[in-house]
Amino acid sequence: MTQLDLLWEYQQADTEADNMAHSIRQSPKRQKLLKLRDYIRDQQESLKTLENELVAMSDRMDALKDAVSLADDQLKQLQKRVESEPAQTSQQIGQYVAEADQLNLTLGDYEQEIRRVRKSAEDRDRKQRDIKVRAIKSKEEFDALRVEYDQEFKEKSEVLDQLRLAAEEKKKGIEPEYLARYTAIKQHCTPPMAKLLNGQCGGCNMGFPSSVLAAIRSGKQVECETCGRLIIG
Ligand SMILES: [Zn+2]
Q: For residue range 184-230, what is the model confidence (pLDDT) as tens digits?
A: 999 999 999 999 999 999 999 999 999 999 999 998 999 999 999 99
Judge whether 149 lies within some domain.
yes
The answer to whether residue 6 sits within a structural domain is no
Same domain flag for 98 and 213:
no
**Distance (Å) from CA 21 to ligand 1 centroid:** 25
User: Dihedral (C-alpha) 202, 206, 210, 211: value to the nearest 10 degrees?
Assistant: -90
Domain span including residue 193: 179-232
Q: Where a domain ends, among 155, 172, 189?
A: 172
Number of structural domains found in the chain: 2
Q: Are residues 60 and 142 in the same domain?
A: yes
CATH code, domain with 97: 1.10.287.1490
Residues 105 and 219 in one domain: no
What distance in angstroms lies between residue 231's CA and the mean position of ligand 1's atoms? 8
Whether 171 and 10 have beta carbons less than 8 Å apart is answered as yes
pTM, rounded to two decimals: 0.66
How far is residue 103 CA from its own chain's centroid? 52
Nearest to 142 by CA among 47, 38, 25: 38
For residues 106-115, average pLDDT:
96
38 falls in which pLDDT band (50, 70, 90)?
A: very high
Residue 120: predicted pLDDT: 96
* CA dist., res. 73 & res. 199, Å (int): 99
Distance 191 CA to ligand 1 centre (A): 11
Mean pLDDT of the chain: 96
Instruction: Give how far Cα 142 sits from Cα of 40, 56, 137, 145, Å.
Output: 9, 33, 8, 5
Say whether pLDDT at 1 is over 90.
no
Residues 145 and 223 both lie in one domain: no
Cα 11 to middle of ligand 1, angstroms: 16
Of 153, 172, 191, which residue constitutes the final position of a domain? 172
pLDDT of residue 11: 98
C-alpha 156/C-alpha 154 separation (Å) is 6
Q: What's the CA-to-centroid distance between 145 and ligand 1, angstroms? A: 42
Residues 187 and 162 in one domain: no
Residue pLDDT, tens place only, 85-96:
998 999 999 999
| 227 and 167 housed in the same domain | no
Residues 219 and 160 in one domain: no
* Residue 186 CB neighbour total at 10 angstroms: 17
114 and 55 both lie in a single domain: yes
Residues 164 and 214 both lie in one domain: no
If asked whether residues 123 and 220 sit together in one domain, one would say no
> What are the C-alpha distances in Å from 146 to residues 28, 139, 185?
12, 10, 37
Q: Considering the domain boundaries, does residue 5 fall inside one?
A: no
How many angstroms is it from 195 CA to the middle of ligand 1?
9
